Structure 1
């Protein structure tokens, strides 16, 4: 939202750390991708270049400009909750590289936003895209566990209030432009926030999962046009479902081999297509890494 003519500036002026990858949140999780790859594969040819670029990008003055944007009253809902969640995931990863402290002020702003937003959200958002509540909870759980026990407790309480009584999910999905499964990200959020009672909850939530029903959850989405930015979301759906199925399987006692097979099928459907047209190339690699290597709680 622009408040005056003075706000009509190029993205690199308004967001000096997070510009150049189509939108703010894609820049944020693009950085998460680069830093996580550099940590997982320190000998990768690009890892040294990543650290050099991060050292010049994550600076106090640039963080101050980003913070100033979020302090504007009109920015209350800016990138909420998707970009917020990715920022905390990036902050969590950046600490492994020595860049966490410089991002602390921005992470504090985002965490304060979640403390206010979650209690005010009477109903969860179950869309298959950016506004999804369950995905945000999944993504920020590692950060909250390490940095903000009060936020973690709030997340668990809100997840129980929103999802605790859900049973016999019908899984009317996928939407035509979804990159998230509302059913599976809800289940993964409950696995991460209510681990001890998750198996019983899941048995009521998807009682026929052992028979691969509802079938839509076990069948990779078909992507008809990867040059269309919305239809290309469906590759992200396949990748994020693979991440969810692996996380859900790990949370169930003894694991579920069938779920692992489903995750592999979803990976196979979309992993070969993360590069190519910019409609997907600017963001799909982050979801591919989630599916393949997980985050710090996968």
Structure 2
């Protein structure tokens, strides 16, 4: 990660977080009078094609601001945040959740990204952290109400993936010192994934942007103590040192970047790089080397594809930032 690349990512996000159209709504109509205009309903997160992509576009900008505070783009980021994170606008976003038909709104992907954004503002002691807190608190409460009811995890490689939400929510729990919330996340991860062995890795599917196998491992790494994670991971991917299952280690091919679902596969390459890089830090010897080498291949396959067609441009830079700086945001060479 370099200042030039961070500036490029910032310019991409600044170009779409306030772009209202095209827009894909996650909105249930309750009646004929229930119209939907993005900016009226979501006065902060109306851009970037959909609500969750707008949230993590703001997260990307917050991370750029923390890691590279001297960039010229930071002035535009600060001005944007001053416009966006007002008490009135945050309350409008929070109030949307009170609609009876909004119970499943952005569950769990958007919930998790909202917490990731809030935690990024908290760690940099941003003046915008406090105004956003009521919305973050609402999503913590939603997680607390929902996770105990989720008997089975969602293992798909798209937005509903449970493990991905756990990873982002865990960071918020840790940053805020919410030990009860983190304990809930760990309890559910152990219940869902604790007995998983010898993962088959039948992936990717045609529109994955997450690896079900690697994202599960990333969640367990985030939530288990190191001495518990090591034996679990060794049993989960027992032939990792031999690059098996081999489907995990070949970057996905993207045939049409103007197709929003096929373009997900660029995100898969980036999120695999993120997961592999994180996991490699906890895995010694040949298995760790396999992960590091595969992470580099996946990153190289997608890093130049974060801009171009809007179907990818409205979200891919966020996943590139994850791949390059990790969950917590450290600049690596």
Please state which band the TM-score falls in when normalised by the shorter chain: over 0.9
Contact 1:135 1:186 in 2 (8 A): yes
- 1:24-72, Cα deviation, whole Å (9 max, x unpaired): 0000000000111111111112111101110111000001111110111
Give the alignment partner of residue 193 of structure 2, picking from 136, 146, 163: 163
Q: Give how far 1:252 is off.
A: 2.7
- 1:73-99, Cα deviation, whole Å (9 max, x unpaired): 211110000000000000111222221
1:172 corresponds in structure 2 to 202
Contact 2:93 2:135 in 1 (8 A): yes
Contact 2:63 2:329 in 1 (8 A): no
Structure 2 CA distance, aligned partners of 1:136 and 1:261?
26
- Provide the aligned C-alpha RMSD in A: 1.3
2:133 corresponds in structure 1 to 104
Give the alignment partner of residue 195 of structure 1, picking from 216, 219, 225: 225
Give the alignment partner of residue 129 of structure 1, picking from 158, 173, 177: 158
- 1:152-192, Cα deviation, whole Å (9 max, x unpaired): 00110110000000000000000000000000000000001
Contact 2:240 2:290 in 1 (8 A): no
Structure 2 CA distance, aligned partners of 1:229 and 1:245?
25
2:7 corresponds in structure 1 to none
Q: Give how far 1:221 is off.
A: 0.4
Contact 1:195 1:251 in 2 (8 A): no
2:270 corresponds in structure 1 to 239
Structure 2 CA distance, aligned partners of 1:9 and 1:259?
45
Q: Give how far 1:257 is off.
A: 2.2
1:280 corresponds in structure 2 to 312
TM score, norm. by length of structure 2: 0.87
Structure 2 CA distance, aligned partners of 1:252 and 1:264?
16
Give the alignment partner of residue 105 of structure 2, picking from 66, 70, 78: 78
Unaligned runs of 5+ in 1: none
2:296 corresponds in structure 1 to 264
Worse-superposed segment, 53-62 or 190-199: 190-199
Structure 2 CA distance, aligned partners of 1:16 and 1:4?
22
- 1:247-281, Cα deviation, whole Å (9 max, x unpaired): 11112357812211110000000111110000100
2:68 corresponds in structure 1 to 41
1:65 corresponds in structure 2 to 92
Structure 1 residue 228 corresponds to structure 2 residue 255: no
Structure 1 residue 186 corresponds to structure 2 residue 216: yes
Unaligned runs of 5+ in 2: 1-27
Q: How many residues align?
A: 298
Q: Specify the SS of the correspondent of 1:167.
A: coil
Contact 1:236 1:287 in 2 (8 A): yes
1:292 corresponds in structure 2 to 324
TM score, norm. by length of structure 1: 0.97
